[in-house]
Amino acid sequence: MENTKWVLASRPDGMPSGQNFRLEREPCPEIGDGEFLIEAAYLIVTPPLRMWMTSGGMTGRPVPLGGTMRCGGMGCVVKSNHPDYAVGDLVSGDLGWQRFAVSNGRDRTPVQRVKRRDGVSTTALMHVLGSGGRTAYFGLTEFCRPKLGDTMVISGAAGNVGSVLCQLARMQGCRVVGIAGSRQKCDWLTGELGCAGAVNYKEEDVAERLAALCPRGIDIFFDNVGGETLDAALGLIAQGARVVLCGATSQYNHDGGWYAPRNYFNLVYRQAEMHGFFVGNFAGRYEEAASRLAPLVASGALKYAEDVLDGLERAPQALVHALTGEHFGVQLVRVSGAADA
């Protein structure tokens, strides 16, 4: 067996491209005692991968030049010297942009066994019941403190985290307004996902549209994109608002300096709060999120969209799509049929 992997060839200046990566082939890695070999089935390509290429994000440790590009994914155990992992187990974690990965179940982002659930597809286990869904779940339950009738605005609303959150917040009795980057995505938000309104930030003035859609101000702003969108929302917060910082996708290509919000003093005028959070701090409660979300997915109450690019060789293209919004739904790359039931 041969392994194929994308390594980082150079660091990008602004938007990354295929030129920043190099496809390499090597013999399939051997496993030692206490290790197992995973064959990747799907990778989930999201905006923060861009930070691994330069700053390393919150770890401060970027992927070294020549190193395998990092990425969350799902796959199957195909060889095992580990007492707790058997051939055929479905696992997820940081598999990287490669066909085969070796793990001991504890390293970097620990690879974890994934429980199959009735009525939930293999890929949905990875996003709605995985990183995106649990980020939405803990962001909402721990930081948003929604009240019946609250107006909640969500940026990156048609994305992995945002689309789950729009629906959970609506189920909690919030009036949800989503911000997304195309007419098609905005129609999906107000149609399928039940948002009360949507703003197309690429074609509309965000502050003006939000003011029209939120006449009594914004009670909760959940931010996935940062920059000018965060600023526009800060300008419209209501008394006692909660501003929850989840991501800053609009800034990840700006290695030279991030946009600083000007309207932050509204937090004082409105006696509001702004709180950042990291979903990894809830690792001990992931099962709680998955078990709450699973029946909603199985019953069809929680909807999602996926955009699947076929073949590991398309991973760089998937990253560009995640950073430009060219995709519709969670951006996945199908690497192999290893997890097909």
Ligand X SMILES: NC(=O)c1ccc[n+]([C@@H]2O[C@H](COP(=O)([O-])OP(=O)(O)OC[C@H]3O[C@@H](n4cnc5c(N)ncnc54)[C@H](OP(=O)(O)O)[C@@H]3O)[C@@H](O)[C@H]2O)c1
Interface positions with ligand X (CB under 6 A): 46-48, 131-132, 135, 156, 158-162, 180-182, 185, 224-225, 246-250, 277-279, 322-323, 325, 327, 330
Of residues 206 and 238, the one with the C-beta less far from ligand X: 206
CB-nearer residue toward ligand X: 74 or 248: 248
C-beta of 3 vs 131, nearer to ligand X: 131
User: Smaller CB distance to ligand X: residue 101 or 164?
Assistant: 164
Nearer to ligand X, 174 or 179 (CB): 179
Q: How far is the CB of 123 from ligand X (least distance, A)?
A: 14
3-state secondary structure of 168: helix
**Minimum distance from residue 45 beta carbon to ligand X (Å):** 9
Burial 17-40 (b: 16+ CB within 10 A, else e): ebebbeeeeeebbebeeebbbbbb
* Nearest-approach distance from CB 26 to ligand X, in angstroms: 29
In the complex with ligand X, the residue whose CB is nearer, 81 or 112, is 112
Please choose, from the candidates 89, 88, 95, the residue with its C-alpha nearest in 3D space to the C-alpha of residue 74: 95
**What is the spatial distance between Cα 215 and Cα 205, in angstroms, rounded to a whole number?**
16
* Minimum distance, C-beta of residue 172 to ligand X, in the bound complex (Å): 19
263: number of Cβ within 10 Å: 16
What single letter denotes the amino acid at residue 216? Answer: R
Distance CA 1, CA 26 (A): 9
Task: Report, in Å, the least distance between residue 253 CB and ligand X.
Answer: 8
CA–CA separation, 114 and 341 (whole Å): 14
Distances (CA, A) of 229 to 4, 136, 147, 160, 221: 39, 19, 24, 18, 10
> At closest approach, how far in Å is the CB of 140 from ligand X?
13
Burial of 94 (0-12, 13-18, 19+ CB in 10 A): middle
Q: How far apart are CA 309 and CA 319, in angstroms?
A: 11
